[in-house]
Structure 1
């Protein structure tokens, strides 16, 4: 499959953005309408900025996937309210991680109870995503994370993998979850072309989004970004090309962590597509 498969994945991207003041303008200026936009949620700011930006981008004609972390939901009534607002905005796809809020806002400790409750509410969303962890989670054993994906398979329709910078680890993880009969399609998490100074500035702020907090928990990953020449997304994709494009891997597309460097991310994708097209 090779280059053709990689081109196909670059055409099936999702851009993860943070709900900041400038995000809407950046998306409108730089993101084509055929690119899915996912909106993170912050345990500091709560769900409101996510729901607001999701509704505005959907009104502009984007397919938007809000993050609805379980630990930000206050109770069953709040879940129903959030689902109703999103359906009213035309949203048919949500991403449900456990989230980082500590303590949780209410009684939902993890994603599975929220997924079950959404099913009991008549499955208001056609597509529901859950998290996968190619590299070890700082608090959860690898076998537990794969078991969690198995438990969620009846309620979810796809997996979004967290960042991974090791081609071998990513390939082995994809093989492992398939051996465990986790058959959900995977959107592989890839960091965009992050500028070092911007990433460092963003990482020092509080509550800017799940993606930067995840980096903060993985200092070795942060070092890869911070080192001059330490990370290039095209290098990672080239090295993982075989694993990502194998039919048995079930990779549906790329989930690109933009860290709100939205213009730079789209320029990078277009340039790489041009190069792959020869």
Structure 2
């Protein structure tokens, strides 16, 4: 990958973190204020840990993006309460996936009804993100996921792609959504430099094992992390750089799944920036 291409992908980097006791301290110790931090939400623990962590990080001067899964919202009153709390902390960017809660906590079973309701509330957030699926969704046909992005486009401002380990598939997917007329900028989801032993130790501390649960739903992904030489974010970016940095791709940057290996992720990013000359 050339230095210019690498710089483009790293210029809009976002770090996804999980709500845990040590997350604030880890972010403060290792993440510069110009890096956007996104905070996941657990179908087990609900939205409260997410909202609490968002407030604490925002108070320290970070630009924070909460995940607000539709299936964790109980009703319209709950949605309005979440909106008010986030606005009070200065949040102007939210990510709205459908979420994994089964059954849903209330009437919202997908992201689109929540996105429509936010629009009806006057668009309280300047930026609203939705999910993209470069690799097949386990329950939804590929064409339907792209159609869903088309349906959501009037209510969203960007797309975050789910994890993908195949640069060819990732590049093809970006091309497909552009040909279908979806023009929202994409933040490409990539896993950071995940170490299996630290991942499992972190999952045990969290209690419900959010990262382990996430990976066990995608066994092939876990094998990539666990196998020596099986995954390196550098290789993925190098092989996919041409497709991802093409002007027609409209890729805004990287969305890095840290799995709370925050120090390791930031060291990796700085090493890449040093190599690119930025």
Q: How would you bin the TM-score normalised by the shorter chain?
A: over 0.9
- Cα distance in 2, alignment partners of residues 268 and 238 from structure 1: 14
Superposed CA RMSD in Å reads 1.5
- After TM superposition, the structure 1 stretch with the greater mean CA deviation from structure 2, 212-221 or 149-158, is 212-221
- 1:101 is matched with which residue? 101
- Cα distance in 2, alignment partners of residues 247 and 158 from structure 1: 16
The aligned length equals 277
| Distance apart, 1:208 and its partner CA | 4.5
- Cα distance in 1, alignment partners of residues 219 and 200 from structure 2: 12
Residue 42 of structure 1 contacts residue 208 of structure 1 at CA under 8 Å; is this kept in 2? no
- 2:27 is matched with which residue? 27
| Distance apart, 1:230 and its partner CA | 1.1
Residue 64 of structure 1 contacts residue 91 of structure 1 at CA under 8 Å; is this kept in 2? yes
- 2:59 is matched with which residue? 59
SS at match of 1:43: coil
Structure 2 unpaired stretches of 5+? none
- Cα distance in 2, alignment partners of residues 216 and 172 from structure 1: 26
- Cα distance in 1, alignment partners of residues 144 and 214 from structure 2: 19
| Distance apart, 1:206 and its partner CA | 5.7
- Cα distance in 2, alignment partners of residues 203 and 179 from structure 1: 40
| Distance apart, 1:215 and its partner CA | 2.3
TM-score (norm 1): 0.96
Residue 36 of structure 1 contacts residue 62 of structure 1 at CA under 8 Å; is this kept in 2? yes
TM-score (norm 2): 0.96
Indicate yes or no: 2:167 matched with 1:145. no
Structure 1 unpaired stretches of 5+? none
Residue 2 of structure 2 contacts residue 276 of structure 2 at CA under 8 Å; is this kept in 1? no
- 1:232 is matched with which residue? 232
Residue 8 of structure 2 contacts residue 245 of structure 2 at CA under 8 Å; is this kept in 1? no
SS at match of 2:62: coil
Residue 91 of structure 2 contacts residue 125 of structure 2 at CA under 8 Å; is this kept in 1? yes
